[in-house]
Structure 1
Amino acid sequence: MYASLPIDSIKSDFLAALSQQHIVVEAETGSGKSTRLPLWAAQVGRVLVVEPRRVACISLAEYLNTDVANPQQISVGYAIRFEQHFDDNTQVVFATPGVALRWLSDDQLAQFNTVIIDEFHERRWDTDLLLALLKQRQSHRLVATSATMDSQRLVEYLNAAHLHAAGRHFEVEVYHYATDNQTMPSGDHLEQRIVKLLRQHYDNHQDILVFLPGRKEISATMQALKRYFVDEIASSVIDVIPLHASVTDDERQRALTASEKQRIILATNVAETSLTIPGVTLIIDSGLERRTHQRNGRTVLSLHAISKASAEQRKGRAGRVKDGVCLRLYGKAAPLERLTPAELQREELVEPYLAALCCDAKFSQLLFIDPLPEKTLASAFEALLTMKAVTSDEMVTDYGRRLYQLPIDSLFAHLITAMPERRHQEAMVDLAAALSIPQKLWQPPKSEQDQQALFLWLGQQYCDATALIKIVRVDVVPEWLTVDDNMRAEARLLASKMREVLQLPQLEVSSAFRRQPWIEAVMNATPELVYIRRQRRRQALANGFNEVTLSRDTLFAIEHDQATEAAVVFDQFALPGKGMKQNLVLATCIAPVTLSQIVALDLGENQQGQTVETSAGHFQTAIERIYAGQVIDTQWQDVSGGAASTAIVDLILANDVLEGLAARLKVDIQQWNLYLALGHYQADICQREPEVVDLTMWLSQQITDLGIETIDDIALFSAEDFVFDGIPDWEREAFDNQYPHRVRLNDFEMRIEYQISRKTVIAHYHQGNRKQDPKRWELPRWQGWRIKYKKASRTIDIH
């Protein structure tokens, strides 16, 4: 008989409800819900347990395969990306949400009777989507569990039974270390503050768990601890252990297994739920996590204060075996959110949209606990439509299904399948693998010697993208190259699995490829990835829709030459900027391309530029290729046909021919449009239809009507041949006096603008030496109009 746990109090109610309806189990940290419920549910059929983190997936499955946890010997296995340990007879299978969604798209999870979604309060997009899909199908008994969540809303959403179990047995004292009660969590000098607390308290505790926002802070804190606890670490009295999504099996086992050594475990919020870390009696909570959110239309990753629910989860880790202590690095009354917002509310929706469609459900029609943001939903649909992954009536295409089979971001899946040649497809697979792992694969060298070595190692293929491909492909990387071995192993595994799915050669026999045709294939498939430099800010690149800033670690050169004027940006990392709506988007993986490649692939648009007279007396016009608002190529053409008409209009408007005509017509047409807007039009006395006129269009029509076909023909005409019959002649003088387009005083001149809808006149300073503002008595009457005077950026009312 195994030891009693708090969750055991609801066993009979759980089994009774399981055959009748869905269940929501609310149980505090340490109650045993993650280990007991799967075994109970296995009594009535095969069970799929969906765990949000793969570390928890593996650890829970391994624990339930021990006699202590599972004396009935119920068979338990697990499945994470690229790794499965179960068979058709396994009664309980732990799986990550991504794996569960793919199984759902394959066979509707037909092999399982019960689906348990553990730690639902984390509100990942894949668990939210999985629950919505299964709720719609009503094909499985659903159990949703959490330690802290808004459970009543979930009970109503599922029309479920609500069961509650008590939590931990032991008390946890909480102390706050902050300047005042409302101090929010902060990353400033975080490792120093943590080390200071550890030095004060480590003597009183065997095992200590420190919650940090990410690997960067874990690494910094480990280095700081090694400086302060040199002797203890050297003599193996203290074991400092990292715990995050990408730790090795050895590090995971050391963190989750009791030891005679004192352990200081530095963890992300992977340790908040599901995992049992024995012996921990001291928690140091930074109050921070790294979280994505929508900002100005993009998903950005930044430091966030945790929610109150997460704070309770973290605190609960200290009360598993005896009374514990929780030290919080923020104020007692810090205004934390009550719950962490759902990922579907704060991230782009391309991936969940495609996943839903591949599970034969229309994403826009699924019923979620929280309504989806309409703007983000529309943006995701447009992105999938552009990729040809969906039809206009929201049906997934065969191509979309092929994209979904690849366990990577939809954009990379699209790039892989769009490659026209196998060798280019292989290159894209290996790059996508390098960019799809949880952490950065490598660090470009800093020393001049190592930079030169890298240049020689890559040869003609020198750029961020090809460097990553080579790092993934080679058996051994050079010693002078800083590479994360764990991440490289994961990238190589991912590349191998994708090559297997696509029936491509394995890494050991990768096909050689040339960078230029491969990059051009990428540019053809996804022209939105093509960026060009800003003229003045050399660190910035733009594609006409977005702007990115070069990362410090990119190999992309800063020199001003043709070879570094444009690039394909494969990977971006968005951070919140200083302003409320600003983002700092870093380009982190770049492959240079030339402007001529952009032109050759017909990217951008042509527009007619200036017209000039050649030394031979002929005229030529510039045809400019525009990309991202910049001229990237200019071709000169002899003026003829439609181009001649446009060129003639440009010459007239520039006052290069028919001198004075443009100024006269501008005034005539401006006054006519004002005449119409003020309601002065009378059909019986006006020769023209009551339509607003555009000067350029009117001039083009006149040139056609007069039979002017070449630049030389314009010499046969004078300005008097172009007459605009707008306001009747006998009305014009009176109208101009009442609504002048220019007002001249003795010492300066103003241009007049009429804003009809606001009944406002704006007098713009045009020229003159007068420093004083105009007086009301100096200006026309403009009875009933509000009058403003504008000079430079200054605007005042004139009363």
Structure 2
Amino acid sequence: MHPSRDHHLPPDPDAYRYAPHPRGRIIVIAPTRAACETIELALGLRLETLLEREHGAEIRTLAASGKGFGIVAGTGTGKTLGIRPMAESILGEPLRVGVVNREREATPETPGWNVVIVTTGIARRWFQDDLITGRDTVIVDEIHQTSAELELCLALGKRAGCRYIWLSATVDPTFYARYLASAEVLHTYAFDPKLKARVQVLPQTPEEFLTERFVRHIIKERRGVAAFLPTRAEVERLGQELGEQWKRLTTAFYHGGEPIRVIRPFLQGEIERPFLLAMTAAGQSALNVPGLDTVIIYDARYGNVVERGRNVLHRLYLGANEILQMAGRVHGRVPDGEVVILSDRELDFASLRPTPPEFQLAGDAERVAITCAAIGVDARDLDLPVPLDRAAYRRAADLLASRGLIENGRLTAYGREVEALPVERPWGELLVHASGDLLPVVAVCSNIESLHRMTREERDLHGLVANGSDHLTAYNIYAEAVNQHGYLGEVYGLPRHLFDEGLEEWAERRGVLIKAVEDTALGLASVYRSLDLPLPKQLPYASKDLRLAWMDLVARVMPFHLVIDEHTADGQEARVSKTSVAGSWGAVAGALRFFADRFGIARASIEGTTLPNDLVSSYAVVGSPRIVLTGPRKHQRLALERRRTYFGFELDTEIEPLSGKIPEALREQARDLLVDLLVAGEVVHPDAGRIKRAIAELDELWRRSGGTLPELSPDALRRLARAQLETVASWDDLQRTRISIDPAALVEQAIRERLESLPGMVKVRGDAAPVDYEIQHGEGVARVRLREGQAKRLRPDEVPALDRPVRFALQRGRHAPLLADTIPELQALLRKAPRHDREDQGDFRTGRGRGKGGGPGHRGPRTRRTRGGRPGRRR
């Protein structure tokens, strides 16, 4: 399947670019689709707000000045409503507003809009196609809601020379002010000191705090309570259990998997107190609940920490920004407010101050690589808001190049097709390769984050589970929702699957999140529009034939992460997710997610589709043959090796002994291999012993010379031996060929005697210490090997003088030595070394040992013996 065009771009891009807008356009970047609708509504209203009263004139003056600026204000102060006066001051003409997101595509009327509201992903695509230029003013709403897409947009806007106006909740604005060259930052706080809330910090969990006594307090005083918890499961459990136990208390829960309409009665003030609304962080900054006067905050969250270029999920404490925003629902805003923070750390609420936001871009190197290829620049040419992990970026670029999406730093034709589809890169590849029968499966699955995120902990998927495939199970769930409760309708004039009222009962029975179903419907419609195909009214279930075709497509294209026998190609352990229906052994293709265990160690889990071994083998690639050495030392022979690999995994190796001549095309590689083995002393040959001794002797002379005798360097000796193998074309030829490396012919006798006369031992505080000669960064040095006792007592002025810089090494028993350039540096390393490392070293002398070192002459620790002759316990 091939996309006809990107429906999120104007049908006629040139008409959009050259439309007459004397002062450019206003591009408003919103964090979500819902925010787009809110901004569109706000642009048609004129309401008195706190922000307008405090800074209305300043905002208009700054907007008309052509300078960038920022606004930091809490929820309910009128930030979004302030966009209208900004736009009017900048454009000086009536506003013609349009929205482009996954719900509403660009139309032929788009060139006439002078205010365009887009989500972050659409904005990035418009930047890539030069639809947003330096003539435009970019207004970023809720800039504190960071994402990789938004951070890329900021960098792309700076590259295009755009002017930025940004709106943020209560965070430290220092970074944004500097990065976006803001002339001024305006602050507005809806905080009344007379309405200061009572704040408690208690070392309890929610279960310990929400006792019968506290719930009776809520009911008696008719309070409105919001409880912020870190996970969906905790939020659902709290809302349901309290609702069942306390009939006089109205309860509900809200998280990212629930549509906003489930708590709309709370938002519209239709729920009378007492009530308790349990929420995740999804409601911390954007929801205003009338009647709210009590906030309970559990000091925990799950957030991504970028480690080696990947996002690793950690359980963390809440940041100051989150706590202030959650408490800000009532603190300084309502009379008789209460804030309870449940935390096991020392926390002084009064001293909390806003901090800079946490950025996400460093963990999405692939998105950066695709974006850079789309516009033909290197990531180093973009002024990114966070440093990019260069190693991760190179790996991502190499992966995309190996898959044929990037060539010479630009997107290929295949890469442009994949990038034009409104899905992530792996799913875009599958859509391009999918046949007509598989298109519904791929299109549906491409818009489902995961089976785990689609369902609740308690779920009933009987009859829908496709054994071995989370992808097909999730597809079956959506297919049943459409087939039983869906119909074709239109939203904003675009076709989409809509659902009847029976969907809620079905979702409750199945344990499926309604919002996941509705989001899938939205994304599915977007995919079919991109392919210019009609949206199907009903969807087939995953039959046996469909399952086989799906597995074949995945195995053939393999755009996902791959785990075989619970390990990745680079050897990292990756377990199948607990909620997955995929098999634990064999090949599993899907999404690899990283999380930290309770010790902070990064672990990996995968959700996806299990692939049969014979299918994997059928798409494995046999590598080019190479020459290897096989057999035990007395029966060594040359052989041809062919490796069968599958997307980074080596499945098996075929060894074919070579009894005759080496194939002509492989002789150079064979000679390179043989010379390496000869130099290392690992191959049988009549001259092997002499070669090994000569190389060891010349290597010592080369190091003692400080590298001033280039003809003795390892590379020079290897070239000398390699030149003598030019006629070797078989194993027998190797055995008949004499190979000579003569130290006497390579080093003059006088030079040899001078180098050999250099000391191999020096006196350190009366003790002998060995000296090794090395070449460090192209310079000859002498490294004195010390024992721990010598290193501790040695002073810099006691270091013996030699003809070259002196370096130091501390022997540490079985451990690698500590290396340092100076005595103070060595002593500092020794103090940092783990205690058991130092005890392993000991300070042994000849004769009977002292202390507990267990060295020569030491008879070991004494043990008390019981009457039975066994070691006993000391009392």
Question: TM-score, normalization: structure 2?
Answer: 0.65
Cα shift at 1:266: 1.6
Say which of 528, 533, 538 aligns to 1:499. Answer: 528
**Counterparts in 2 of 1:697-736, with a 5 A limit?**
702=724, 704-705=726-727, 709-711=730-732, 717=736, 721-727=738-744
Instruction: Check if 1:19 corresponds to 2:64.
Output: yes
Partner of 1:588: 607
Distance 1:385 1:115, change over 3 A: same
Counterparts of 2:473 and 2:444, CA distance in 1: 11
Aligned equivalent of 1:573: 593
Match of 1:634 among 630, 649, 654: 654
Alpha carbons 1:213, 1:268 under 8 Å: kept: yes
SS in 1 for 2:301: strand
Q: 84-93 or 120-129, which moves further after superposition?
A: 84-93
Q: Equivalent of 2:255, from 241, 244, 256?
A: 244
Pairwise CA RMSD? 5.3
Give the corresponding residue for 2:51. Answer: 7
Residue number in structure 2 paired with 1:464: 470
Describe the shift of the 1:484–1:165 C-alpha distance in structure 2 as closer, same or farther (beyond 3 A): closer
Contact 1:21–1:160 (Cα < 8 Å) also in 2 = no
Which of residues 79, 82, 92 is equivalent to 2:103? 82
Amino acid at match of 1:246: G
Query: 1: distance between equivalents of 2:206 and 2:754?
Result: 72
**Hey, what does 1:747 align to over in structure 2?**
none
Distance 1:605 1:305, change over 3 A: farther
Q: Sort the Cα spacing of 1:134 and 1:431 in 2 relative to 1 into closer, same or farther, 3 A.
A: same
1:58-85 Cα offsets, whole Å, 9 max, x none, are: xxxxxxxxxxxxxx9x998866533589
Q: Is the 8 A contact 1:285 1:314 kept in 2?
A: yes
1:553 aligns with 2:579: yes
Matched, 1:264 2:276: yes
Match among 400, 413, 432 for residue 428 of structure 2: 413
Residue 668 of structure 1 aligns to a residue whose secondary structure is: helix
Question: Which residue number corresponds to residue 569 of structure 2?
Answer: 543
Q: Kindly provide the CA deviation profile for residues 484-515 of structure 1, in whole angstroms up to 9, marking residues without a partner as x.
A: 44423432442342133124564536698665
Partners in 2 of 1:691 and 1:230 — Cα distance? 82
Name the aligned partner's letter for residue 172 of structure 1. Answer: K
Query: Which residue matches 2:79?
Result: 34
Alpha-carbon distance between aligned partners in 2 of 1:792 and 1:19, rounded to the nearest angstrom:
72
Separation in structure 1 between the aligned mates of residue 712 and residue 755 of structure 2, nearest angstrom: 19
Question: Where in structure 2 are the equivalents of 1:325-336 lying within 5 Å?
Answer: 325-330=338-343, 331-333=346-348
Unaligned runs of 5+ in 2: 1-44, 485-505, 761-769, 787-801, 816-839, 846-875
Where 1:144 maps in the other structure, the secondary structure is strand
Contact 1:442 1:482 in 2 (8 A): yes
Give the C-alpha shift of residue 571 in structure 1.
Answer: 0.3
1:737 shift after superposition: 9.5
- Give the 5 Å matches for 1:588-667: 588-594=607-613, 597-598=616-617, 600-602=619-621, 608=627, 611=630, 621=639, 623-625=641-643, 632-642=652-662, 662-667=688-693
What's the offset of the Cα at 1:144?
1.7
Measured in 2, the distance between the counterparts of 1:695 and 1:631 equals 37
Residue in 2 that maps onto 1:313: 325
Q: Is the partner of 2:446 in helix, strand or coil?
A: helix
- Unpaired segments ≥5 residues, structure 1: 48-71, 180-187, 534-539, 742-750, 764-781
Residues 276, 663 of structure 1: CA spacing in aligned structure 2 closer, same or farther, 3 A cutoff? same
Counterpart of 1:441 in structure 2: which amino acid? M
For 1:253, what is the secondary structure of its paired residue?
Answer: helix
Deviates more, 1:275-284 or 1:372-381: 372-381
- 1:224-243 equivalences under 5 Å are 224-226=241-243, 230-232=245-247, 237-243=248-254
The one-letter code sitting in structure 2 at the alignment partner of 1:311 is I
Out of 87, 92, 98, the residue aligned to residue 121 of structure 2 is 98
Q: Cα distance 1:680–1:655, how it changes in 2: closer, same or farther (>3 A)?
A: closer
Please name the residue that 2:290 is paired with. 278
- CA contact 1:240–1:265 (8 Å) conserved in 2: yes
Give a deviation string over 1:30-64, Cα, whole Å, max 9, x none: 453235313434645889xxxxxxxxxxxxxxxxx
Q: Could you tell me how far apart the structure 1 residues matched to 2:708 and 2:46 are?
A: 97
Q: Specify the code of the residue in structure 2 equivalent to 1:633.
A: T
Separation (CA, whole Å) in 1 of partners of 2:81 and 2:608: 46
Pairing partner for 1:289 from 297, 301, 307: 301
C-alpha contact (below 8 Å) 2:201/2:342 kept by paired residues: yes
Which of 350, 357, 368 is residue 341 of structure 1 equivalent to?
A: 357
Q: Which whole-Å CA distance do the structure 2 matches of 1:78 and 1:198 have between them?
A: 46
For 2:720 and 2:644, how far apart are their aligned partners in 1? 26
Q: Deviations over 1:344-393 (max 9, x none)?
A: 46532433554577579876434455665655555555555555545545
Q: Distance in 2 between matches of 1:373 and 1:347?
A: 8
Residues 184-219 of structure 1: per-residue CA shift (max 9 Å, x gap)? xxxx84444456795264233432112222323312
Aligned-partner residue type, residue 668 of structure 1: A
In structure 2, relative to structure 1, the CA distance for the partners of 1:155 and 1:444 (3 Å cut) is: closer
User: Which residue of 1 is the match for residue 417 of structure 2?
Assistant: 402
The question of 1:167 aligning with 2:190 is answered: yes
| Counterpart-to-counterpart distance in 2, 1:658 and 1:386 | 40
Q: Is contact 1:24-1:151 (8 Å) kept?
A: no
Q: Assess, with a 3 A threshold, how the Cα gap between structure 1 residues 608 and 714 changes in structure 2: closer, same or farther.
A: closer
1: CA distance between counterparts of 2:439 and 2:121? 24
1:303 aligns with 315
- Which one-letter code corresponds to 1:675 in the other structure? L
Q: Is the 8 A contact 2:252 2:277 kept in 1?
A: yes
**Per-residue CA shift, 1:267-315, capped at 9, x if unaligned?**
2223232332211111112233332221132112223323323322222
Residue pair 2:558, 2:589 contacting (<8 A) in 1 also? no
Cα distance 1:372–1:5, how it changes in 2: closer, same or farther (>3 A)? same
Q: Is the 8 A contact 2:455 2:511 kept in 1?
A: yes
Aligned to 1:210: 227
Deviation per residue, 1:740-782 (Å, 9 max, x gap): 99xxxxxxxxx9997565634889xxxxxxxxxxxxxxxxxx9
Q: Provide the aligned length of Structure 1 versus Structure 2.
A: 697
Go from structure 1 to structure 2 and tell me whether the alpha carbon gap of 1:371 and 1:197 turns closer, same or farther (over 3 Å shift).
farther
User: Contact 2:450–2:474 at 8 Å: present in 1 too?
Assistant: no
Distance 1:342 1:681 in 2: 50
CA gap 1:378/1:654 in 2 versus in 1, 3 angstroms: closer
CA drift of 1:584 comes to 0.8
Whether the 8 Å CA contact 2:230–2:281 is kept in 1: the answer is: yes
Is the alpha carbon distance of 1:367 and 1:734 closer, same or farther for their aligned partners in structure 2, counting shifts above 3 Å?
closer
* Structure 1 residues 609-649: Cα deviation after superposition (integer angstroms, max 9, x where no partner): 56359xxx997836252756856232434433337967988
Match of 1:147 in 2: 169
Contact 1:606 1:623 in 2 (8 A): yes
**Is the CA contact 1:607–1:626 (under 8 Å) kept in the aligned structure 2?**
no
**Percent of residue pairs bearing the same amino acid type:** 17
Instruction: Answer whether contact 2:50 2:77 (CA < 8 A) is retained.
Output: yes
Deviation at 1:543, TM superposition (A): 0.9
Task: Please say if residues 284 and 328 of structure 1, whose CA atoms lie closer than 8 Å, have aligned partners that are also in contact.
Answer: yes
